[in-house]
Amino acid sequence: MNKIGLILIAVGLLTIAIITSVVVVLKPKTNNTHIDIINDTCPYCNGSTSQLGELCTDSEVKSFHQYAVSTDSNVCAKTGRSIMDEGGNAVDAGIAVLLCMGVTIPESMGLGGGSLIVFYNKTSNNATFVDAREVAPIASSRDMFNSTKSDAEFSNSALGLLSIATPGELAGYWHMFNKYGSKKITWKRLFRDAINFAKNGFPVGRHLEEAISQKRDFIMAYNNLKNVYYNQKTDDFYKHGEILKQPKLAETLTNLSLAKDAKKYFYEELSTKIIEDLQNNTDFPNQKPILTVTDFHGYIVDEKPAYSFNIKDDIKLLTARLPGSGILLSYILKIMLHPKFHHLYPDAKENFNDSVLFYHRLMESYKFAYAKRMYLGDDNYDDCHNITDKITTDKFIEKIVNKIDDKTTHPSKSGFYENDKFQKMDHGTAHVSVLDKHGNAFAASTTVNLYFGSKVMSPSTGLILNNQMDDFNTGKTNAFDLPPSHSNTIHPGKRPLSSMSPSVFIDKTGVRLIIGASGGSKITTAVALVSLRHLWMDDDIKLAIDSARLHHQLYPDHIENENCFPKNILASLEEKNHIIKQIEEGDRGAIVMAVSRSKNGTIRANSDWRKDGTIDGL
């Protein structure tokens, strides 16, 4: 595609954004309450504004006694339940759900992307972290995007052949299945629903419809995408409820399901087809792919013990290591649960001043966490241990807690938060949480990065390829005049930093909460707040997920508030010198998927109303 074509795409995207800002309002699904942001009506519980912004939507929540699944796909929770009905464990069910999600929410994830997985084994009482994140190609270099003029979605790091990193998704599934699967379910069985939905079609969910609408100019510009997401029968883009089929993807999934060694098939035989497709791609005539079959051949899943942190009240957090953001999740929780802060929580729901103080301290904990994010990356390449070994120690937490000023916040560039660099923020993602009857937990977050990844589809396989190279830092100073962090720079074989935080909380009785989210840089803060509200503020899991949220990532220097967040709290935060900005129209924020288990064994599952996910179980 020439420069004129790219300019036309950019103009088209701007037009769509302007139209969307006028007509699209993100609204909780409710049975009897219509949210009208202009008229300032929201589905507050019991019809009145709560101090903590509780919302009561009609997202499904159920109680189970043996096992449960929560996913952000509109049709895939049943897939996980059926696997466990047949004797499979959380790993079997989780992989089957992920395969299904790759078909039904291809805008967010798929075999052309990568994932981070935390698996807790109840019998051994141990958790493992499996890193199947994408890897920078051998031919990549630190300065390869320095000449790119924009960090927008149509820059070379985010769009086209150069933005693609080596996918890790299938390797992660194969590794987990062979090492931790129940051995009662065959590899082929895991693919059944995914193949069926790809071959015979599935009803398009609202999130996929919105993603197609948002990226319509890209889809029209690139024939391989248009052939799938433009409905020839209606002569229009696919809409909610219409049946979408993906025959090439069905063929790929079928072949993978029958392979004796699926990893070898994908990374050797299938990779040859993918690379040929990239080399023959005509949509990006000014780019030559740097990804090669050698990159595929050399892909290795990285498994390590999950991070394990004692948080409070005998509750332990088992979470993703770097390049995930579990370390920052722990950092936030330890600050907020410090004895100096934790005492006010019982009154925070009823006492206005305590509510304001809770959110002020929460925003400060977010800012301190994202300041430390600036120095993190792939710890196989970046020396991050001086940060990770320090920030969760009691001594360091005490220092930060004492530093937080209850009367005021501070400018991000003031140096107060101990940062002098910036870090690239990530996007997108999908998540599944699974609890099986044995008490095992599976939490997996997965992504192709931006909607439809690189916008490059392999026509011979039906796979959308990621644009994960955009998650690395380039060598450029950012819009806030901060130099880039020396960590998370591009290097062959390296994995980019991610906000993904798949996590499992346990106590002496076993699993208490399996949680994760989609939503790019908002993932870590959302998982932290929902976990706080459910485990330490006595909110039911649905209420904890439903309720309006705030987000701060240090840069830009403002709080993002969801539409229904109480305005009196926001006004009081402004008095503490916080800058408030309402979340952009159409931005869903973070989408949280969780399965909780009480001390008496009752299981509850909920999928965030902000996306059309589903739950199931027994």
Q: Give the tens place of pLDDT for each residue, 400-419.
A: 999 999 999 999 989 999 88
Kindly state whether residue 228 falls inside one of the protein's structural domains. no
**Binding site feature residues:** 133, 447-449, 471, 498-499, 520
**Percentage of residues of the chain with pLDDT beyond 90:** 78
User: What is residue 349's predicted lDDT score, i.e. its pLDDT?
Assistant: 75
Kindly state whether residue 363 falls inside one of the protein's structural domains. yes
Confidence grade of residue 345 (pLDDT, cut at 50, 70, 90):
confident
* Mean pLDDT of the 15-41 span: 38
pLDDT tens figures, 133-186:
999 999 999 999 886 555 566 688 899 999 999 999 999 999 999 999 999 999
Confidence grade of residue 424 (pLDDT, cut at 50, 70, 90):
confident
Name every residue whose Cβ is closer than 8 Å to that of residue 105 and which is 6 or more positions away in sequence.
72, 73, 205, 207, 208, 430
pLDDT at 479 over 60: no
**Binding site feature residues for L-glutamate:** 133, 447-449, 471, 498-499, 520
Alpha helices of 537-602 — where are they, by DSSP H? 541-546, 567-575
Distances (CA, A) of 449 to 157, 165, 170, 245, 430: 12, 11, 16, 23, 10
Kindly state whether residue 450 falls inside one of the protein's structural domains. yes
User: What is residue 343's predicted lDDT score, i.e. its pLDDT?
Assistant: 76
DSSP labels for 454-470?
A: TSEEETTTTEEEP-GGG
d(CA 430, CA 448) in angstroms, rounded, equals 9
pLDDT at 29 over 80: no
Kindly state whether residue 102 falls inside one of the protein's structural domains. yes
Kindly state whether residue 206 falls inside one of the protein's structural domains. no
Kindly state whether residue 24 falls inside one of the protein's structural domains. yes
* Mean pLDDT of the 246-258 span: 99
User: What's the number of CA atoms in the CB half-sphere (13 Å) around residue 465?
Assistant: 28
Residue 50 corresponds to which amino acid? S
What residue numbers bound the domain in which 484 lies?
1-193+248-618
pLDDT at 363 over 70: yes
Specify the higher pLDDT residue, 343 or 357: 357
- Active-site pick, 71, 104, 166, 429: 429
pLDDT at 348 over 80: no
User: What is residue 25's predicted lDDT score, i.e. its pLDDT?
Assistant: 37
User: What is residue 304's predicted lDDT score, i.e. its pLDDT?
Assistant: 98
User: What is residue 7's predicted lDDT score, i.e. its pLDDT?
Assistant: 47
The count of structural domains within the chain is 1
pLDDT at 547 over 90: yes
Report which DSSP code applies to 481: S
Residue 555 corresponds to which amino acid? Y
Q: Are 527 and 503 a contacting pair, CB within 8 Å? A: yes
Kindly state whether residue 232 falls inside one of the protein's structural domains. no
Token pair listed for 419: 């940062």
CA angle 25, 361, 588 (to 5 degrees): 15
* Mean pLDDT of the 111-119 span: 99
Cβ-based neighbour number of residue 599 at 10 Å: 10
pLDDT at 20 over 70: no
**Can you say whether the dihedral through the CA atoms of 143, 144, 145, 146 is positive or negative?**
positive
Question: Could you tell me whether strands 580-582 and 591-597 are parallel, antiparallel, or unpaired per DSSP bridges?
Answer: unpaired
Distance of CA 262 to the CA centre of its chain: 26
User: What is residue 428's predicted lDDT score, i.e. its pLDDT?
Assistant: 74
User: What is residue 50's predicted lDDT score, i.e. its pLDDT?
Assistant: 62
Q: Based on the residue annotation, tell me whether 429 is a catalytic residue of this protein.
A: yes
Kindly state whether residue 229 falls inside one of the protein's structural domains. no
Question: Token pair 């052309």 is at which residue?
Answer: 112
Alpha helices of 514-566 — where are they, by DSSP H? 523-536, 541-546
Q: Report pTM.
A: 0.92
Q: Are 534 and 553 a contacting pair, CB within 8 Å? A: no
User: What is residue 39's predicted lDDT score, i.e. its pLDDT?
Assistant: 31
pLDDT tens figures, 555-596:
999 999 998 999 999 999 999 999 999 998 778 889 999 999
**Percentage of residues of the chain with pLDDT beyond 70:** 89
Specify the higher pLDDT residue, 42 or 593: 593
**Can you say whether the dihedral through the CA atoms of 410, 416, 418, 420 is positive or negative?**
positive
* Mean pLDDT of the 291-301 span: 98
